[in-house]
């Protein structure tokens, strides 16, 4: 066990997720842009993705996921000490979506705040929750990952629009005896490559004006094939370092839940870590890339599909990579 652990442990005690009902299939995109089901499946592994209703904002999706996670944990909203919410598509620039969610849940004792780490946001949030709890500063924290990427997607750009979906996932993290629950965490950033995936407009650098709207600055911009090169390497590093810190190896892992950006990235990580296909949790075919929501949705689906599938004591590894660049991993025993 690494020397970074404190006197208390932190454990994931509840999981919940929500994806909107509306589905866009590859066949739908064939009618919108110059693409094909074959290209999308072969290059990304995606077949369909969920899209939020016009009247839904990030806080609404977060609420649906959060009430399920709280119920799963048997925790009341008033018991929460903190709400940490990862998103790049908050309801508005401020107040934070976490503040809005706090009010919706009635979590009146929780300090609530958003963090932005693109697709790694949920892992960054879990890592902070682990530190807060293991250092005795909080006992119960709700961590949420939510994204309505359809609001920042240019549906005339075939290189990006086929990839993204909407959704939310949430987990309750609670104090537990040391050595149980979260065993190690790893988070990392390299701002040198911030121009590989970004949303230029609407911030203080380039406020939205008629001119910036005309340039499409309200949409996310991505240099996909360049990002791809860093993704596998970064996720493998995060997995290895997190396992090393806990004195464990890839062979000890029961379930690897990777960020769902591309099936070829996931396969690349699996091969480099010499994992079996059965150890991987994959749902990219049905939900697309939901950015920071992808890991809690994938794990939520797995747990919901069969309560006995992830057994007590099983070793689970979450690994993410995203714009920033940001990447990280969380290793825990169920
Ligand atoms: O969530 C975390 C951050 N995201 C990532 O890490 C994403 C990483 N990148 C990727 O997943 C892949 O790079 C993509 C799926 C985005 C693209 O796959 P690729 O194999 O890297 O394709 P490419 O961008 O190199 O494009 C190859 C060709 C191009 O045509 P030419 O120039 O070779 O004639 C594109 O114009 O495919 C074309 N293309 C498409 N064709 C049909 C791009 N998008 C499409 C499309 N349908 N939707």
Residue 3 pLDDT exceeds 70: no
User: Do both 129 and 218 map to the same domain?
Assistant: no
Lowest mean pLDDT among 18-27, 199-208, 303-312: 303-312
Can you give the pLDDT at residue 305?
86
Cβ–ligand 1 distance for 171 under 6 Å, the answer no
Q: Is the CB of 237 under 6 A from ligand 1?
A: no
Which among 179, 201, 233 is the end of a domain? 179
Residue 265 CA: which ligand 1 atom is closest?
A: 11
| Average of per-residue pLDDT across 255-278 | 96
* 104 CB neighbour count, 10 Å cutoff: 15
Residues 117 and 234 in one domain: no
Retrieve residue 183's tokens.
């065993």
315 part of a folded domain: yes
Instruction: Tell whether 121 and 246 lie within a shared domain.
Output: no
Question: 137 and 84: one domain?
Answer: yes
On whether both 35 and 108 belong to a single domain, the answer is: yes
User: Does the beta carbon of 231 lie inside 6 Å of ligand 1?
Assistant: yes
The answer on pLDDT for 186 being more than 90 is yes
Q: Let me know whether 169 and 187 are in one domain.
A: no
The domain in which residue 114 lies consists of: 9-179
In a domain, 303, yes or no: yes
| 130 lies in some domain | yes
In whole angstroms, how far apart are CA 245 and each of 1, 29, 240, 260, 312? 7, 44, 9, 24, 21
Indicate the DSSP class of residue 92.
S
pLDDT over 70, % of the chain: 98
**Centre of ligand 1 from the C-alpha of residue 35, in Å:** 11
At 1, the pLDDT band (50, 70, 90 cuts) reads very low
In terms of domains, do 36 and 174 share one? yes
Token code pair at residue 93 = 């620039």
Residues 151 and 187 in one domain: no
Last residue of a domain, one of 124, 156, 179: 179
Asked if residue 267 is part of any domain, the answer here is: yes
Q: Are residues 157 and 47 in the same domain?
A: yes
| 197-226: average pLDDT | 96
Which residues lie closer than 8 Å to 133 by C-beta, 6 or more apart? 8, 9, 10, 139, 141, 173, 174, 175
Q: How far is CA 92 from CA 29, 64, 105, in A?
A: 28, 19, 18
Handedness of CA 65, 66, 67, 68 (dihedral sign): positive
Instruction: Read off the pLDDT of each residue in 146-168 and give the average, rounded to a whole number.
Output: 97
Residues 17 and 165 occupy one common structural domain: yes
For residue 82, is it within any domain? yes
For residues 272 and 320, state if they share a domain: yes
**Could you confirm whether 50 is annotated as catalytic?**
no
Beta strand 48-51 pairing with 82-86: unpaired
| Residue 1 domain-assigned (yes or no) | no
Q: Which among 144, 159, 179 is the end of a domain?
A: 179
Tell me, yes or no, whether 115 lies in a domain: yes
322 CB within 6 A, ligand 1 = yes
DSSP alpha helix (H) spans, the chain: 26-32, 37-44, 58-73, 97-105, 121-134, 158-161, 210-214, 224-245, 263-272, 284-287, 294-305
Tell me the mean pLDDT in the region 14-43: 97
3-state secondary structure of 120: helix
| pLDDT score recorded for residue 192 | 97
Identify the active-site residue in 26, 262, 283, 289.
289
Domain count, the chain: 2
Spatial separation of the C-alpha atoms in residues 199 and 190, rounded to whole Å: 17
Q: Is 262 a catalytic residue?
A: no
Domain with residue 210: its CATH number is 3.40.47.10
* Within-domain flag for 3: no
pLDDT tens digit sequence for 288-310: 999 999 999 999 999 998 778 99
Do residues 267 and 288 both lie within one domain? yes
The pLDDT of 237-255, averaged and rounded, is 96
């Amino acid at each position: 066990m690494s020397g970074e652990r404190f006197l208390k442990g932190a454990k994931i005690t509840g999981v919940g997720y929500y994806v909107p009902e509306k589905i866009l299939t590859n066949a739908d995109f064939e009618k919108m842009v110059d693409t094909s089901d074959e290209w999308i499946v072969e290059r990304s592994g995606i077949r369909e993705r969920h899209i939020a209703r016009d009247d839904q904002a990030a806080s609404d999706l977060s609420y649906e996921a959060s009430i399920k996670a709280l119920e799963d944990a048997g925790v009341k909203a008033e018991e929460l000490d903190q709400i940490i919410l990862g998103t790049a598509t908050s309801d508005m620039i401020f107040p934070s979506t976490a503040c809005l969610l706090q009010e919706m849940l009635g979590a009146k004792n929780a300090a609530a705040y958003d963090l932005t780490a693109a697709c790694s946001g949920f892992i960054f949030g879990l890592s902070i929750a682990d530190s807060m709890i293991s250092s005795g500063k909080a006992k119960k924290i709700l961590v949420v990952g939510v994204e309505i990427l359809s609001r920042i997607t240019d549906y005339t750009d075939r290189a990006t629009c086929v990839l993204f979906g909407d959704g939310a996932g949430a987990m309750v993290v609670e104090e537990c005896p040391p050595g149980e629950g979260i065993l190690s965490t790893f988070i990392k950033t390299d701002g040198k490559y911030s121009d590989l995936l970004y949303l230029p407009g609407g911030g203080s650098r380039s406020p939205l004006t008629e001119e910036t709207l005309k340039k499409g600055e309200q949409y996310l911009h991505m240099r996909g094939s360049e990002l791809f090169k860093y993704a596998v390497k970064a996720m493998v590093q995060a997995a290895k370092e997190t396992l090393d810190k806990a004195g464990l190896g890839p062979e000890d892992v029961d379930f690897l839940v990777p960020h769902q950006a591309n099936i070829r990235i996931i396969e690349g990580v699996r091969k480099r870590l010499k994992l079996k296909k059965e150890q991987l949790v994959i749902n990219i075919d049905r939900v697309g890339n939901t950015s920071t929501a992808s890991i809690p949705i994938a794990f939520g689906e797995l747990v919901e599909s069969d309560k006995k599938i992830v057994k007590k004591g099983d070793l689970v590894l979450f690994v993410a990579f995203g714009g920033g660049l940001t990447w990280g991993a969380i290793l825990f025993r169920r």
